[in-house]
Amino acid sequence: MRIRRALLFMPGDSRRKIEKGAGLGVDSIIMDLEDAIAFNNKEIARHSVAEALREVAFGRSEKLVRINQVIPGWLYAADIMATVDAKPDGYVLPKVEETAQVQRVSELLALAEDNHNWQRGSLKILAIIETAKGIVNLPEIANSDPRLEALIFGAEDLAGDIGAVRTPESWEVFYARSAVVLHAKAAGLQAIDTVFIDLNAPEDALIAETQLALTMGYTGKLAIHPKQVAPMQAVFTPRLPEIEAAQRLIHAHHVHQAAGTGVFEYEGKMIDMPMIRAAMTIIARAKACGVLD
């Protein structure tokens, strides 16, 4: 599964912004056909995204398309049909509330893969959980389809759905924010945190919120402005002292295992397998980010 530390939204009807995003070195670019696009501009945006997928050099950045909500008779099928031939890396599904939504998109992508002789499952799905019903149905959604790779938490829409008042501390969505991580990890999926909407806040505030997401177990975060990308990706990239400490701990674990010792004392702490697994996670993240061979 590819690394997704920052996922940058760009409006699908702006070729200029898509090209700018492609030059940032961001892990993933989400070309938006949903909230960022006026209803009467949807067809233009689809055409713009398809052209960008064919013509823009995205480098190492993942190419994702956010479609409109998957509900009968709505715009999502047209979004997919207009863009899938240009072969994005995957699709982001908004307001996912039940397994059938993920499975219906997966069926459409399978047809496209067969028509183009692409490998089955090569087109990925990321699901945004941003309604009360989506939170309640997390266990089923997280295990709905093999091409699902990540659950994304959407705090703003969730707050509106349940009538909550958004606060800087975000306690009003804390249960849901935690639930998305737990169910994502239980299903072997990535967990992507919600947007940071205050573009006038100091960078320290963005870094603090991103650090909180990392502490909670999130593997990445949504970005809505290019200036958010570098701080986010830096937070989700293990630093050298952290990597070296993890390596030393894992080495000590191997030494004690070879001597027949399970739990052992190390630097004033009692060490058991949960701490070793945490150290291994740091090493895995470092390798995925390309800072460790």
Q: Is residue 266 part of a domain?
A: yes
Q: Are residues 160 and 72 in the same domain?
A: yes
Please give the Cα distance from 28 to 61 (Å, whole number). Answer: 5
Check residue 289 and give its pLDDT: 86
Q: Are residues 72 and 195 in the same domain?
A: yes
Please give the Cα distance from 267 to 262 (Å, whole number). Answer: 16
Using the 3D structure, point to which of 218, 235, 252 is the last residue of a domain. 235
Q: Are residues 19 and 113 in the same domain?
A: yes
Question: What six digits make up the tokens of 204?
Answer: 């320290």
Q: Is residue 1 part of a domain?
A: no
Using the 3D structure, point to which of 235, 252, 281 is the last residue of a domain. 235
Distances (CA, A) of 23 to 17, 20, 53, 86, 166: 10, 5, 14, 19, 33
Q: Are residues 245 and 213 in the same domain?
A: no
Check residue 225 and give its pLDDT: 97
Alpha helices (H) along 97-189: 99-116, 132-136, 138-142, 155-162, 174-186
Q: Are residues 141 and 212 in the same domain?
A: yes
Question: What six digits make up the tokens of 3?
Answer: 């690394």
3-class state of residue 278 by DSSP:
helix
Q: Is residue 198 part of a domain?
A: yes
Q: Are residues 259 and 145 in the same domain?
A: no
Containing domain of residue 158, as a range?
Answer: 6-235
Can you spell out the DSSP letters for 16-69? HHHHHHHTTT-SEEEEESSTTS-GGGHHHHHHHHHHHHHHS--TT-EEEEE---
Q: Are residues 21 and 134 in the same domain?
A: yes
Q: Are residues 247 and 225 in the same domain?
A: no
CATH number at residue 184: 3.20.20.60
Q: Are residues 28 and 172 in the same domain?
A: yes
The position carrying tokens 């010792």 is: 261
Q: Are residues 31 and 114 in the same domain?
A: yes
Q: Are residues 134 and 274 in the same domain?
A: no
Check residue 261 and give its pLDDT: 86
Please give the Cα distance from 8 to 111 (Å, whole number). Answer: 28
Please give the Cα distance from 241 to 173 (Å, whole number). Answer: 33
Please give the Cα distance from 2 to 27 (Å, whole number). Answer: 9
Its sign, for the CA torsion 37, 111, 149, 283, is negative
Please give the chain's pLDDT, 293 residues, in tens: 799 999 999 999 999 999 999 999 999 999 999 999 999 999 999 999 999 999 999 999 999 999 999 999 889 999 999 999 999 999 999 999 999 999 999 999 999 999 999 999 999 999 999 999 999 999 999 999 999 999 999 999 999 999 999 998 999 999 999 999 999 999 999 999 999 999 999 999 999 999 999 999 999 999 999 999 999 999 999 999 999 999 999 999 999 999 888 899 999 899 989 999 999 999 988 998 888 88
Which residues are annotated as catalytic? 272
Q: Are residues 255 and 226 in the same domain?
A: no
Query: Are 82 and 50 a contacting pair, CB within 8 Å?
Result: yes
Check residue 77 and give its pLDDT: 97
Query: Are 75 and 68 a contacting pair, CB within 8 Å?
Result: yes
Query: Are 175 and 168 a contacting pair, CB within 8 Å?
Result: no
Q: Which of 28, 5, 31 is nearest to 18 (CA)?
A: 31
* AA identity, residue 87: K
> Phi first, then psi: what are they for 59, rounded to 5°?
60, -130
What is the total count of domains within the chain?
A: 2
